[in-house]
Amino acid sequence: MTPRHRHWQRRGRARTAVTSPVMPASEHRPRPAPPRTPIGGHVPVAGGLATRGLAYADRVGAECVQVFVGNARGWATGPGDPREDALLRARTGLPAFVHAPYLINPGAPDPDVAAKSVASLGHALRRGAEIGALGVVVHTGSAVSDDRGAGLARAARRLGPLLDALGDSGPRLLLEPMAGQGRVLCATVEDVARYLDALEWHPMAGVCLDTAHLFAAGHDIASSKGMRAMLDGFGAAVGADRLGLVHANDSALPCGSRKDRHANIGAGHIGAEPFAELFSHPVSAGVPVTVETPGPEGPHAADIAALKRLREGSGTG
């Protein structure tokens, strides 16, 4: 089955793949130009989700944004500011995403960590809906000292009810593969397929790919050919319809390091040129791209500008 022609139907909790007819070669029309990819970054929101976040986005030239809606490295949750939420929602031309706190671990064997993870992710999803976010990014988690299979089963048990509660109009939950450290549940594109399979290919489960994580996990994307091969592999294993966001980060460490160390675009071991593939490849073209590179504002603006130049050079700018 070709994932580019895969659609998902929901039957209770089971999701089944359905193949749509593929036109014979004689009926193929010229391929349309790839859609224009929004390029932006993770923006600071201390001082106001919109008041500070939107001002920062404008200064760095962001066409999409990612934000935290709580403590990035803690469990504390709280209500949002309705005025700030409304201001952010009013920027309808600026796709927004939420990054859930780093402590969340859906596969944790510790019941206390598991309960806090579910509560924290539930909060991030609710806040994502309130600000009109397209997706909520969460790290896929770790089995810690346990078996990966058991950890994946726990993650599926905990994420399933949250996904079911989203309905069809809420933000998608975007699963972010990690750098391959320890007993993480998901690092490579093949791992993504296994993770989604555990979730029965839930229609509200999408994916956020982080280039630095993929590189650390062993995908050698330090060339245009390597980036294409990774995206081809994702399309074959998962399907383009699942990709909701790309974190475009260079890597401060070599391929296969299994350590998450971001670098500015072109200043790391991936280099700038491979990122051009994101804007023309059929799996990723049109999917929003955000940088999470070392800041502050000046380097972020330079990274966004560098990606825009690559987009222009790809013919999709």
CATH classification at residue 59 = 3.20.20.150
Extract the tokens encoding 104: 């969340």
Asked, for residue 81, whether it belongs to a domain, the answer is yes
Which residue type is seen at 317?
Answer: G
pLDDT at 78: 87
Give pLDDT tens digits along the chain (317 positions).
333 233 333 323 333 333 333 434 444 455 566 789 999 999 999 999 999 999 999 999 999 999 999 999 999 998 999 999 999 999 999 999 999 999 999 999 999 999 999 999 999 999 999 999 999 999 999 999 999 999 999 999 999 999 999 988 789 999 999 999 999 999 999 999 999 999 999 999 999 999 999 999 999 999 999 999 999 999 999 999 999 999 999 999 999 999 999 999 999 999 999 999 999 999 999 999 999 999 999 999 999 999 999 999 998 87
Contact 207, 175 (CB under 8 A): yes
176 is in an annotated binding site: yes
Extract the tokens encoding 40: 């932006």
Q: Which value, in Å, is the radius of gyration of the alpha carbons in the chain?
A: 19
292 is in an annotated binding site: yes
DSSP three-state, residue 209: strand
pLDDT at 247: 99
139 is in an annotated binding site: yes
Asked, for residue 182, whether it belongs to a domain, the answer is yes
Asked, for residue 1, whether it belongs to a domain, the answer is no
Asked, for residue 13, whether it belongs to a domain, the answer is no
CA distance 64 to 128: 15
Residue 108's alpha-carbon distances to 85, 142, 202, in angstroms, are 32, 6, 21
CA distance 86 to 90: 6
pLDDT at 57: 98
Asked, for residue 20, whether it belongs to a domain, the answer is no
Extract the tokens encoding 193: 């397929």
Domain region containing 103: 35-313
Structurally, the chain folds into a number of domains equal to: 1
* Maximum Cα interatomic distance, the chain, rounded to a whole number of Å: 59
260 is in an annotated binding site: yes
User: How many Cα atoms sit within 13 Å of 151 on the Cβ side?
Assistant: 22
Asked, for residue 98, whether it belongs to a domain, the answer is yes
Sole residue written with tokens 């969340």: 104
Sole residue written with tokens 């909701």: 244
Segment holding 81, helix H or strand E: none
